[in-house]
Amino acid sequence: MPPADVLPLTVLNAAAWTSWLTKNAPKSGGVWLTLAKKGVTSPTSLTYPEALDEALCHGWIDGQRKSCDEKTFSQRFTPRTVKSGWSKRNVGIIERLEKEGRMKAGGVAAVVAAKADGRWERAYAGSASAVADPAFLEALEGNETAKRFYEGLSSQNRFAIYLRLLQLKTEAGRKRKIQEFVVMLENGETIYPQKVIEDGQKEQGKGKGKGKAKRIATSESGDETTPLVQKRAKKGKAEASKVVEEKVEPRRQGLRQRKEEP
């Protein structure tokens, strides 16, 4: 049986989600929470904004989203880590929750820690209003190949670069990472897989792009840990699996993009 933190969790409504968090937030590693689409009341009436409010109150944060059916979708919720970055949107939500007196011990502790180590002040803008690092853009001017490839990136990949540079704490670290990104782009690599066209060949359909992707393992905050991708490998009929790290070529079908924390 899969671990509890990968099983779907369905609760009746926002009050039931609050009750679950009160009991389980301090000890759970996370859940895939079933959320209602607009106008849906069964099997749950819990909406994404309601779920996010309660998660932030308890020191949790949202992550990847998965489609389920015509009534619901599934959203990943996990405890914040010590490196978890903050979006300006969530900073604003926290300020509202504080005024409403809804913050719980776990949420207060997460905010105190973020303010103490500077993550609160470094809260990042959403992808719609994010502005690329000027030093990064200047570095691209010196590498025409990397610049052209960057201009063709999806909004998700552009935002991923923006976020990772923003979260770096030192100027030396930022300069080093800028050069790494320039090399990555020069080699035609991306953080997340995206559809691309190579050698004048047309794409074979939605989700069937050509090219190579370089997935950078990250913490919740978007900080790089290692320029490798984690991949599941199966062994024989027993299907025993382990995680291996390697540089990869993207799979031809079924690529799914992981959504950045808002």
The two beta strands, 217-218 and 72-79, are unpaired
Do 160 and 103 share a structural domain?
Answer: no
pLDDT at residue 2 greater than cutoff 90 = no
Residue 164, pLDDT score = 92
Q: How confident is the model at residue 100 (pLDDT cuts 50, 70, 90)?
A: very high
Residue 202, pLDDT score = 31
In a domain, 35, yes or no: yes
Domains identified in the chain, total number: 2
In a domain, 113, yes or no: yes
pLDDT at residue 258 greater than cutoff 70 = no
Do 173 and 93 share a structural domain?
Answer: no
Residue scoring higher pLDDT (260 or 102): 102
Kindly give, in sequence order, each residue whose CB lies less than 8 Å from that of residue 112, ignoring residues fewer than 6 positions away.
none
In a domain, 73, yes or no: yes
In a domain, 162, yes or no: yes
**Please, are residues 149 and 197 in contact by the beta-carbon 8 Å criterion?**
no
Do 14 and 63 share a structural domain?
Answer: yes
In a domain, 125, yes or no: no
Handedness of CA 93, 95, 98, 100 (dihedral sign): negative
Question: Where in the sequence is the domain holding 240, given as residue range(s)?
Answer: 134-246
Do 233 and 152 share a structural domain?
Answer: yes
In a domain, 140, yes or no: yes
Q: How confident is the model at residue 41 (pLDDT cuts 50, 70, 90)?
A: very high
69, 87, 117 — which closes off a domain?
117
User: What mean pLDDT is reported for the chain?
Assistant: 78
The number of beta carbons lying within 10 Å of the beta carbon of residue 248 is 15
Q: How confident is the model at residue 138 (pLDDT cuts 50, 70, 90)?
A: very high
**Bond into 8 cis (ω within 30):** no
Do 222 and 151 share a structural domain?
Answer: yes
Do 226 and 147 share a structural domain?
Answer: yes
Do 166 and 87 share a structural domain?
Answer: no
Do 138 and 64 share a structural domain?
Answer: no
55, 84, 117 — which closes off a domain?
117
Q: How confident is the model at residue 183 (pLDDT cuts 50, 70, 90)?
A: very high
Residue 167, pLDDT score = 82
Do 107 and 25 share a structural domain?
Answer: yes
Backbone angles phi, psi at 225, to 5 degrees: -115, -45
